[in-house]
Chain A
Amino acid sequence: LAKTTQPISMDSYEGQEVNITCSHNNIATNDYITWYQQFPSQGPRFIIQGYKTKVTNEVASLFIPADRKSSTLSLPRVSLSDTAVYYCLVVAYKYIFGTGTRLKVLA
């Protein structure tokens, strides 16, 4: 099962773009890259999922290079309400969560 590595924490200011990079060197052919967001006292919430190249939705963009050994979650113009823990997972069947990246958005 692919293991992911991502920064433990990041700080940003309101209105900035935030990029969180995740390393997954052992990703398998069938694995998809999935990102979740978790606020205190809530369950994780799905943000975005992709297999290769770039995926964009109303919340974020996900950039995946050709070798798929890493991925970058991009959050445009963050606000205070984006302060949360962000989890990167590589999923074919089983979800294995790491400790995630604690993003703190400052005013």
Chain B
Amino acid sequence: EAGVAQSPRYKIIEKRQSVAFWCNPISGHATLYWYQQILGQGPKLLIQFQNNGVVDDSQLPKDRFSAERLKGVDSTLKIQPAKLEDSAVYLCASRYRGTSGSTDTQYFGPGTRLTVL
């Protein structure tokens, strides 16, 4: 079974530039997550999709971050404009159901390491 795919693996940009990350979840997984992981910390959830609808984006800085999952499969996360504090690893994860009460687990991709100069 193929895992969660993410690209690019690394990205270096200057502040105020824009950047986009792509994620392809495990086939058949309805729920997709984007996390931000700052060095030395655990992953922090940015946004959760159930199929192509947003379930939770309470921690997404909406003035600069946006995400979409148009066809309920792959997803993109965009930052525009980037700030120095956005330097982090951006992880995508997927889950078969992910609905309340389900015990299926999340599978994570390798992440994209973003450096903002």
Encode A81-107 as 1/0 by CB contact (under 8 A) with B: 000000100001111111110000000
What residues of chain B lie closer than 8 Å to A87, measured between beta carbons? 42
Q: State in angstroms the CA–CA spacing of A46 and B45 once bound together.
A: 17
Q: State in angstroms the CA–CA spacing of A29 and B4 once bound together.
A: 31
The answer to whether A32 touches B103 (Cβ under 8 A) is yes
Give the number of residues in B that approach A within 8 Å (Cβ atoms): 24
Q: State in angstroms the CA–CA spacing of A44 and B109 once bound together.
A: 8
| Interface secondary structure of A, over-half rule | loop
8 Å CB interface, B96-117 against A: 98-101, 103, 105-111, 113
Indicate if A30 sits at the interface (CB-CB under 8 A): yes
Indicate if B47 sits at the interface (CB-CB under 8 A): no
The answer to whether B42 touches A99 (Cβ under 8 A) is yes
Q: State in angstroms the CA–CA spacing of A47 and B85 once bound together.
A: 31
The answer to whether B105 touches A49 (Cβ under 8 A) is yes
Q: Find the B residue at minimum CB distance from A85.
A: B42
Indicate if B14 sits at the interface (CB-CB under 8 A): no
What residues of chain B lie closer than 8 Å to A46, measured between beta carbons? 105-107
Q: State in angstroms the CA–CA spacing of A60 and B109 once bound together.
A: 22
What residues of chain A lie closer than 8 Å to B100, measured between beta carbons? 92-93
Q: State in angstroms the CA–CA spacing of A43 and B35 once bound together.
A: 10
Q: State in angstroms the CA–CA spacing of A13 and B44 once bound together.
A: 31
Indicate if A57 sits at the interface (CB-CB under 8 A): no
Binding site for A on B (CB under 8 A): 4, 33, 40-45, 56, 91, 93, 98-101, 103, 105-111, 113
Closest 5 CB pairs of A and B: A43-B108, A97-B42, A93-B100, A46-B105, A97-B43
